[in-house]
Structure 1
């Protein structure tokens, strides 16, 4: 049961924009649409039959392009937005940088409130912590493999640090894939393969 059965309040001139997602074609969006409508979202973007693990989600991408400072992104549940803890943390960090509020009806999170603002800071810390773990685990894994005498082959075109930074730029800073390809001088398949290792 969502905590906001009645419309959310909003700043004058700002919009409440909803996002809904289901993973398979046979699932229905009705419950999420109903909750977002009751929360007074002026428009609801959605992805139907799109797994959270997919790199491209057209509805979410369109929503992120439409959001303006002062707007609120509303979801029925947090897991509808992010495909992993790192992805969710990066998206929330990006919203905070862009001056966009976030509201999850089921979890009772609303960053337009003083208590809710803490959520942005927690998720920013989680994102950084998760990146540090990825770097450390990769370094330790490679060192252990070398100790066992394993042949590691040639190094990948993108280092772990490069992949972690590309993920941050894509999801926190809103860089396009084309910009990342130019920045790291790799093919799209190499970049996407690296990013998939993080989720």
Structure 2
């Protein structure tokens, strides 16, 4: 005859909040938790001591129970990482409010779906970032910002300074840029001219 799993509760409230763990404790006790780890810390923190202590003590067949998913973590990425650690210990996971139970086939499927959506979201973010960088390169932008001066203006600045028609300070005021920017433009122009002369 199979024995009932050992249920371990985890209750958390954020530091500085007026709320207490009382409602969570009642729900976890009613669910049959034999032991409850209580914590007062932000759900965005990974280094929560009671959470780490609980995970370190998990044994095969245990079930971690929370009142709501956000009690475990407010970050989907961290939530999935915690699920992996719980699963690696041979334990299950149950959320009372969302009715998720990874000890059942339906619960496992639900968490796999959540993981798939999270991976899809990460892939979409990477794709958008790559597309944005590619477009920036096409427009002559390297760090994301559009260049203030186009090639024609840069050439006018360099030629005016090199020919002695205007000073670097005058061109900086005229084109509303800094003097170091003008100096860089002139240096690039001279380097390019020297390279072309040698070619």
- Whether the TM-score (by the shorter chain) exceeds 0.5 is yes
Q: TM-score range by the shorter chain?
A: 0.5 to 0.7
Which residue of structure 2 aligns with residue 39 of structure 1? 31
Q: Distance in 2 between matches of 1:75 and 1:65?
A: 17
* 1:64 Cα deviation after fit: 1.3
Provide the TM-score with structure 2 as the length reference. Answer: 0.61
Cα RMSD, aligned residues only: 2.4
After TM superposition, list the pairs within 5 Å mapping 1:85-124 onto structure 2. 85-124=76-115
* 1:138 Cα deviation after fit: 2.9
- Deviating beyond 4 angstroms after TM superposition, the runs of 4 or more aligned structure 1 residues are none
For the 8 Å contact 2:12–2:38, the answer to whether it is kept is yes
After TM superposition, list the pairs within 5 Å mapping 1:1-199 onto structure 2. 12=3, 14-25=5-16, 26-48=18-40, 50-152=41-143
Aligned length: 142
SS at match of 1:59: helix
Provide the TM-score with structure 1 as the length reference. Answer: 0.61
* Alpha-carbon spacing, 1:108–1:13, altered in 2? closer, same or farther (3 Å): closer
* 1:53 Cα deviation after fit: 1.7
* Alpha-carbon spacing, 1:133–1:58, altered in 2? closer, same or farther (3 Å): farther
Higher helix share: 2
